[in-house]
Structure 1
Amino acid sequence: MRPVILAAAIAAIAIQPAQAQTMTAPDYPETRRGDVVETLFGEQIADPYRWLEDDVRNNPEVADWVKRQNAVTQSVLDQLPLRDQLRGRIAELYDYERFSTPVKRGDRYFYMRNSGLQNQNPLYVRDSLTAEPRLLIDPNNWAADGATALSDWVPSPDGSKLLYSVQDGGSDWRILHVLDVTTGKQTSEEIRWAKFTGLAWVGEEGFLYSRFPEPEAGQDFQALNYNQAVYFHRIGTPQSEDQLVFGTPEHREYMHSAGVTSDGRWAIITSSIGTDARYEVHAIDLAARAEKGWAARPVVKGFENAWSVIDGIGGKLWFTTNQGAPRYRVTTIDLDAAAPTWTDIVPETEQPIDGSAIIGERLILSYLQDASSVARSFDLGGKALGEIELGGIGSVGGFTGKAGDPETFYSFSSFNRPATIYRLNVATGERSVFAEPKLAFDPDSISVEQRFFTSKDGTRVPMFIVRRKDIAQANTAVPTLLYGYGGFDISLTPSFAPSRLAWVEAGGAYVVANIRGGGEYGKAWHDGGRLNNKQNVFDDFIGAGEFLIAEGITPKDGLAIQGGSNGGLLIGAVANQRPDLFAAGNAQVGVMDMLRFDRFTAGRYWVDDYGYPDREADFRVLRAYSPYHNIHPGTAYPALLVTTADTDDRVVPGHSFKYAAALQAAGLGPRPQLIRIETRAGHGSGKPTDKAIEEAADTLAFLGFWTGLQPRP
């Protein structure tokens, strides 16, 4: 294997971008090809790189492969002409003060604040709204590499204690601790093996959380997750004495999460069987716990629909549900009634409900209007009281608080505006700015517009297009980065990202396609892009790319694509199906082997969207689009950069390892197919700022090189 020397080619391409397509692919590290072949439903399925599924921590051969791949990839990335410029500008754009929406408990206000380039977000508290902020937790001191993060946190009802979780190296596993807010000192509490958990205080005496049994040694990052249960931990006692509150050992596949109504009356246990919004709900009357213990009363049975509790006041609970309302409605039930019945108070509309809260004596609902947020208030009986002013195309978050509170806090952001935090007087509707960042760019210089295109089957699909205003006004075709997800009922709404803004400032366009499989238009939009309808997701994304070229947004050789997780699957699938359409792609932490995704960690939950690989009808669908199994040897492919991380225990890195090895073995033309593997990082959350900047600079420099994005003079 020889070093990859690309300087001369890069220099030429900086002058004539079209020549980028003539660059020679590097010499890839040798990858051992195994002889695994299985017969599945009468078809011979080769899996020559199955050995790459092994945990890098436990298999020296996999660790060596990772090292060699990273060396070749980095030798290419280090020489890209845009990389240093992008890294510097992304760092400048990251360097602004960021706040979370405050949470009030007692007289105290808790919120996260990052001064700009801190690797992790510290947590602050104010003892009153006008008091000086006090640093409560600074996770930047927890690890030398900055890869240990403060994850979820919940103050106790009177604000005297703080329950929080620690995330190490990007893993989904959490360690729980408790802090005395007055002294800032940590108590003796340490809870392990919590994962996919809610955190809920039961008065001041203890809290509810969800955990799995401790995995076998060495299986932390790969073993399937079964037998989750809800436990109660009493402050001052060891974890070994925690009480089992709710579990289903007869159904080890069920998931359970606990919450407590803001008045402390009810513990609400929400159970699921996968990623689909189909839940069972049980309620535990905490006022009767001395007499009845943790007796769980069924409220919703059957795993047929989505049921999400908004809050409770006394015996009355408010829920959002899609039962008989694919775009959701609000309904109530009084559990203190002799014969509790459901009463609808806010009916379904054309716009799906995306968020809900009870604040003071108001019900606040956020909706999606063509993938952008609107917010409305109602009284607790469902009478409409008006719309809450937001700020155009963007996303709302927060509305933190509880029944009886006079105020709430929320955030609003868009592609060209980081989150501003507002304080809203819920009775008068008056709002004021709680925190607004100072920026290193002019938001008004960036154009954000929405357009619609027609997919292969005639479906009208929205997209957001973000460009410099001068480029938008001239309608100049420029290198374009098209982003998509398309799954699991997840909606892509406008959000701010320094790296994407750096791409736009450099002269490119950034586009988000709201393809089917998401939740932008409710259940029908989700159903239209999953199971045997999954091909619609790929057709929508391909249609988006064709639209951008036809409309002159991007030149034919200037289109890059990007997506993460289920979006990584999207990139792999469309690169196989239309390699001619795209100049470059970045598949991030993708699900690439659709015949074995259910064998690792959380993969078994994804059958709601993907189907079951061991059922023939589903197998046929999965086999037809699985990125790993549908690479076309000898075909000219886009330049592809696969990115993953060694501690990703949600979509295990073996997916990306196998896919990259198969790409490199297939002889896919002159453009490179590389893999970048981050260390001490996971699926995305908890990644330190410095690592996020480095990865973004690498990725965008790679995509920009192959689409003709030019370095600034």
Structure 2
Amino acid sequence: MAGAHAATLDDPNIWLEDVSSPRAMDWVNAHNATTTQRLQADPRYKTLYDQALAVAANKDRIPAPTFTHGQIFNFWQDADHLRGIWRKTTLASYRTAHPQWSTVLDIDALGKAENKSWVLRGRNCLEPDENRCLISLSNGGEDAVEVREFDLARQLFVPDGFHLPRGKHKIAWEDANHLLIATDWTPGDVTPSGYPFIVKRLTRGQSLDQAIEIYRGDKNDGGYGVAPAVLQDGQGRQLAIIVRPLDTFRHQTFVITPKGVQRLAIPDKVDVVDLVDNRVILSLDEPWKGHPAGALVAVNRDALLADPQNLDPKPVWAPGPQDAMDSHTSTRNNVLLATLHNVQGRATVLKPHPHDQWRTQTLPLPDNLAISWGSTDVKSDRAFLGASGFLTPSTLYLSDTAKGTLEPVKTLPAQFDATQDIVEQFEATSTDGTKIPYFIVHRKDIRYDGQTPTLMTAYGGFEVSETPYYSATIGKLWLERGGAFVLANIRGGGEFGPKWHDAGLATRRQVIYDDFAAVAKDLDARKITSPRRLGIEGGSNGGLLMGVEFTEHPELWNAVVIQVPLLDMIRISKIAAGASWQGEYGDVNADPAVMAFWQKTSPYQNLKADVKYPEPFIFTTTKDDRVGPQHARKFAARMEEMKLPFYYYENTEGGHGSGADLKQSARTQALTMTYLQEKLMN
């Protein structure tokens, strides 16, 4: 406690934590003006902005399809619909080159009519008919939303329907007339990270204060707050659960039974993820009853409801030595997996058979691509699946998973000239001898003289896997200009399962930062690039990664882009939702070892006036109520105190991202790319 308290007393920039205060916003506006004036004066900026906006608004993009209410729905943004339209068509029409869309909800028009900066944050439709949906609207892009009930058949908000005012709500349909809701029912009904811990049942026609409490966690709980969910299989069976997070990764799971809410006897790092063929699917992040971490298992739903304390899990899928689960979903009858084998994508269909058996089928897809399941149909075994690579434009397939067939439906036209580029996968050796794979995209004819401008990124946290992806922005604004791009698969992610993530938790986190530096040194050793031509970029937890690399290894790079970052790891629990991530980073207030680690590692606390740092580009948004702009502001302010050069830009909208609409995002991308080209290509 003394360390955290002293850090507050010694912090001359604490005033910048008051997000919207006039003094803080004056500081933001002054630095925004300086940064935009400098970067927009570069003759490249205008072209980069035009290209970024053209990429974002390109009508040749594949419209992401969603099976809803017997039709195909899509949320679409372009130059005429900056905030977007929710629209629909038939599956037959969607299969054609030019689908006939009809607009269901126009977010731009809604915002204009209500004088709000509405951003669509989510749609939650009641299964199985999906004729009613809960629409989540964010003012300016923040995580907090207003929720309204929408009638799909009549295409309007339901008069006197379900409605929740602004908040960080967790909501599930129990049936047409009941919602399970976790929210801040009265002022103060939130955890230290700002999330709800009380679940109530709301009946149609009731006011919020009439909702009946069914579960209460603890005000001091960690993680993202309690969350209700209702799972439904293809035959209409349901399982209603409540998840109570203890920290970022550990949680308790409860099931709603006729006898009330009862806790499931499963470990704290096991998740209930689906219901298929009356089998409850669980994902294991730790070993359980003989099943390994990273596996899927199943429990009979009827047996679970009858006795939640005595469960008999049966195997569904288990990873091999280089395998990891990337994602999973289901159709009416099947479980669908997207897995990784040495960071290469695979698509697998698991079909239930009698006596707790499953039949496995791997779909025939090209190698060296990222594979992701999209929307699935709860009324059939159809599912959309996407495949793409760094130089391979996305292809969308429609799979009949019952038959194991794949039908290419749409392929994205090439968004940049990749004919002169290749993709390679290498390994670097980290400080403890661990091999760290990474991908590099570069010109076929590069000269191995250390002079190739190279942009490197990674995430390294929360068991998030980083896989190859097709980026028109990187391709058009960076690769076409002769730059190389590197994606590092460092520890902290999920590329090789839970063990890859757990290796870098809390006070073990230095291996993550060592892994990233090792890849940079490997690029230098191969003479692909050199510190003069190497830039790095990352956001959120990746922004923390950039901040640590900036302070620990300023000699390895000439450009550092720090986006919507965490940087003050001593006061993280006091800023926005920071207290919810103590399972990832440790608790500086409760564990002296964690405090000691971050005192020597936290970027904000470890800036030094007498060090020659590269000039960074620091980006955040005022409306980010997840990480908060405070970290970026204070880091820039400390650099300013030390008379260290930097660029700072804070978008006044956008939430935890690059912007609330396409023009804002294009501006952020153009400023960033102008900075990178000045530093690495000049």
The two structures have a TM-score, normalised by structure 1, of 0.85
Deviations 1:677-703 (A, max 9, x none): 111222117631111110011011112
Change (3 A) 1:359 1:43: closer
Instruction: Specify the code of the residue in structure 2 equivalent to 1:212.
Output: D
Shift of 1:146: 9.4
**Alpha-carbon separation, structure 2, partners of 1:259 and 1:414:** 34
Instruction: Specify the code of the residue in structure 1 equivalent to 2:13.
Output: Y
**Alpha-carbon separation, structure 2, partners of 1:257 and 1:302:** 18
The answer to whether the aligner puts 1:665 opposite 2:638 as a matched pair is no
The answer to whether the aligner puts 1:696 opposite 2:669 as a matched pair is yes
Deviations 1:623-644 (A, max 9, x none): 0111111112122110111111
CA contact (8 A) 1:178 1:186 kept: yes
Deviations 1:606-637 (A, max 9, x none): 11121111232111001011111111212211
CA contact (8 A) 1:393 1:414 kept: yes
Q: Any residues of structure 2 matched to 1:422-461 within 5 Å, and which?
A: 422-461=397-436
Q: Any residues of structure 2 matched to 1:625-664 within 5 Å, and which?
A: 625-664=601-640
Q: Any residues of structure 2 matched to 1:393-542 within 5 Å, and which?
A: 393-401=368-376, 405-471=380-446, 477-501=451-475, 502-542=477-517
Alignment match, 1:31: none
Instruction: Specify the code of the residue in structure 2 equivalent to 1:257.
Output: A
SS at match of 1:637: coil
Alignment match, 1:8: none
Shift of 1:527: 1.6
**Alpha-carbon separation, structure 2, partners of 1:250 and 1:540:** 37
The answer to whether the aligner puts 1:166 opposite 2:142 as a matched pair is no
Alignment match, 2:296: 330
**Alpha-carbon separation, structure 2, partners of 1:688 and 1:650:** 19
Deviations 1:563-622 (A, max 9, x none): 111111111111111111110111111111111001123111111121111232111001
Change (3 A) 1:445 1:230: farther
Alignment match, 2:331: 359
**Alpha-carbon separation, structure 2, partners of 1:543 and 1:48:** 35
Shift of 1:91: 2.4
Q: Any residues of structure 2 matched to 1:119-130 within 5 Å, and which?
A: 119-126=82-89, 129-130=92-93
CA contact (8 A) 2:659 2:668 kept: no
The answer to whether the aligner puts 1:150 opposite 2:120 as a matched pair is yes
Deviations 1:266-297 (A, max 9, x none): 11222212222x23222224xx5xxx5xx223
CA contact (8 A) 1:326 1:524 kept: no
SS at match of 1:122: strand
Tell me how many residue pairs correspond in the alignment. Answer: 653
Deviations 1:641-675 (A, max 9, x none): 1111111111121111111011122244xxx3121
**Alpha-carbon separation, structure 2, partners of 1:610 and 1:93:** 36
Instruction: Specify the code of the residue in structure 2 equivalent to 1:336.
Output: D
Instruction: Specify the code of the residue in structure 2 equivalent to 1:134.
Output: S
Alignment match, 2:555: 580
Deviations 1:313-341 (A, max 9, x none): 34x31222233156521211124236652
**Alpha-carbon separation, structure 1, partners of 2:498 and 2:261:** 29
Instruction: Specify the code of the residue in structure 2 equivalent to 1:568.
Output: G
**Alpha-carbon separation, structure 2, partners of 1:686 and 1:700:** 16
The answer to whether the aligner puts 1:51 opposite 2:15 as a matched pair is yes
CA contact (8 A) 1:82 1:705 kept: no
**Alpha-carbon separation, structure 2, partners of 1:271 and 1:44:** 31
Shift of 1:242: 3.4
**Alpha-carbon separation, structure 1, partners of 2:53 and 2:6:** 53
Equivalent of 1:139 in 99, 107, 127: 107
Instruction: Specify the code of the residue in structure 2 equivalent to 1:310.
Output: D
Shift of 1:361: 3.3
Shift of 1:184: 0.7
**Alpha-carbon separation, structure 2, partners of 1:137 and 1:450:** 44
Instruction: Specify the code of the residue in structure 2 equivalent to 1:49.
Output: N
Equivalent of 1:684 in 646, 653, 657: 657
**Alpha-carbon separation, structure 2, partners of 1:97 and 1:440:** 9
Change (3 A) 1:416 1:246: farther
CA contact (8 A) 2:217 2:244 kept: no
What CA RMSD, in Å, does the superposition of the two structures yield over aligned residues?
A: 3.0
Equivalent of 1:320 in 283, 287, 303: 283
SS at match of 2:577: helix
**Alpha-carbon separation, structure 1, partners of 2:216 and 2:658:** 28
Shift of 1:210: 2.9
SS at match of 1:541: helix
Instruction: Specify the code of the residue in structure 2 equivalent to 1:619.
Output: M
Change (3 A) 1:400 1:319: farther
Equivalent of 1:208 in 160, 166, 180: 180
Further displaced range: 558-567 or 375-384: 375-384
Instruction: Specify the code of the residue in structure 2 equivalent to 1:258.
Output: P
Question: Between the two proteins, what is the percent identity of the paired residues?
Answer: 26
Equivalent of 2:566 in 571, 591, 609: 591
CA contact (8 A) 1:590 1:651 kept: yes
CA contact (8 A) 2:537 2:562 kept: yes
Equivalent of 1:260 in 196, 221, 230: 230
Alignment match, 2:97: none
Further displaced range: 146-155 or 485-494: 146-155
Instruction: Specify the code of the residue in structure 1 equivalent to 2:264.
Output: V
Change (3 A) 1:387 1:493: same
Deviations 1:432-476 (A, max 9, x none): 23343344434555423322111122110111112244549x898
Instruction: Specify the code of the residue in structure 2 equivalent to 1:246.
Output: Y
Equivalent of 2:255 in 283, 287, 292: 283
Deviations 1:535-590 (A, max 9, x none): 11111111111111221222331011111111111111111111111101111111
Alignment match, 1:4: none
Alignment match, 1:61: 23
Alignment match, 1:241: 210
**Alpha-carbon separation, structure 2, partners of 1:574 and 1:119:** 35
Unpaired segments of 5 or more residues in structure 1?
A: 1-36
The answer to whether the aligner puts 1:296 opposite 2:261 as a matched pair is yes
Alignment match, 1:378: 350
The answer to whether the aligner puts 1:612 opposite 2:587 as a matched pair is yes
Further displaced range: 674-683 or 342-351: 342-351
Instruction: Specify the code of the residue in structure 2 equivalent to 1:179.
Output: F
Deviations 1:479-508 (A, max 9, x none): 111112211211112223333222111111
Change (3 A) 1:699 1:214: farther
Shift of 1:141: 2.4
CA contact (8 A) 1:306 1:321 kept: yes
CA contact (8 A) 2:182 2:196 kept: no
Shift of 1:260: 1.7
Deviations 1:224-274 (A, max 9, x none): 415433343444544333343432246554622222222252112222122
The answer to whether the aligner puts 1:187 opposite 2:158 as a matched pair is yes
Further displaced range: 38-47 or 162-171: 38-47
CA contact (8 A) 1:105 1:159 kept: yes
Instruction: Specify the code of the residue in structure 1 equivalent to 2:106.
Output: D
Change (3 A) 1:416 1:92: farther
CA contact (8 A) 1:331 1:345 kept: yes
**Alpha-carbon separation, structure 1, partners of 2:152 and 2:532:** 57
CA contact (8 A) 1:194 1:211 kept: yes
Change (3 A) 1:521 1:147: farther
Change (3 A) 1:184 1:106: closer
**Alpha-carbon separation, structure 2, partners of 1:298 and 1:241:** 26
The answer to whether the aligner puts 1:561 opposite 2:536 as a matched pair is yes
CA contact (8 A) 2:658 2:665 kept: no
CA contact (8 A) 2:393 2:413 kept: no
Instruction: Specify the code of the residue in structure 1 equivalent to 2:157.
Output: Q
Change (3 A) 1:412 1:327: farther
CA contact (8 A) 2:31 2:649 kept: yes
Instruction: Specify the code of the residue in structure 2 equivalent to 1:505.
Output: E
The answer to whether the aligner puts 1:342 opposite 2:348 as a matched pair is no
Unpaired segments of 5 or more residues in structure 2?
A: 95-99
**Alpha-carbon separation, structure 1, partners of 2:82 and 2:576:** 27
The two structures have a TM-score, normalised by structure 2, of 0.88
**Alpha-carbon separation, structure 1, partners of 2:275 and 2:540:** 32
Shift of 1:359: 2.2
Change (3 A) 1:87 1:538: same
